[in-house]
Structure 1
Amino acid sequence: MEVTRDQLAEALYQNGLALAELESLKTKVENASTLAPKDAIDAGKSEDSFEENFKELKKWVDVKTSKFGTLAVLREKRRGRLGAALKVVNDVIENDGDTPKKKLYELKLSLLEEIGWSHLVSYEKQWMHVRFPTTLPLF
């Protein structure tokens, strides 16, 4: 049963990522041209399907783990709550333990840039070189 639960959680996670990607592509198309009324209705359905998918995933797993944290961040980001998204990223990084993931730190950098905190962006970029060196020292 645990294997089935894990497979369901993974499927819901991948579905959520796909829905978020579709939504971002639709917003790019919206910016390029105006929406027809039918397309606006379809955009509303995709928002509801993302939320439904996220709520179903939340029933099965803790979404603030390192594996599912990116979906929680995307949810907060698409709701326009960048500060909450930054808090979720920080919580995921903190709870991740001793194995930092570069993808999470890059997501944190992009959120800081989007908020407009350039002083923190430069600070975090300097720490990225320390956390994830390109080459290991000789000794």
Structure 2
Amino acid sequence: MVFHYGREADMVLVGDWDGNGTDTFAVRRAATYHVKNSLRGGDADTVFTYGRAGDVTLTGDWDGNGSDTLAVQRGRTYYVNNSLRGGDADTVLTFGRLGDEVYVGDWNGDGTDTLGVRRPVGEAPASAGGKSIGSIAKAS
């Protein structure tokens, strides 16, 4: 399958945005996301602005509802959104240390993605208080 979607300089993200069991693409242009729910070119199904242009974007099913959404990382702070929309984060979490490699996965098989970090050799592990993104209270 070959198709064109987005612009050459866009950052490509992959996720099951509509919860139908199939991953598709979204592209990020600065802090604006263009989400496509099918593997074809054309207009985005959803467009929204979230976070800042310099943030790192992570994708995952943060609330276990079967559809992927975005979290943005700014330093050690993660801003998790459980919907494909702009505005305030549903959850704000500080985790790990600067310089950690960050990974997203369903580490315990409960259907909800959480963060994991890999720290360079020789550094002691940091704790997030044993909390996952799904168990952190909603930010106000």
Name the TM tier (shorter chain): under 0.3
Report which of the two has the higher share of strand. 2
- TM-score, normalised relative to structure 2: 0.25
Normalising by the residue count of structure 1, what TM-score does the alignment of the two structures yield?
Answer: 0.25
Determine which structure has more spread, i.e. the larger CA radius of gyration. 1
Answer 1 or 2: which has greater helix percent. 1
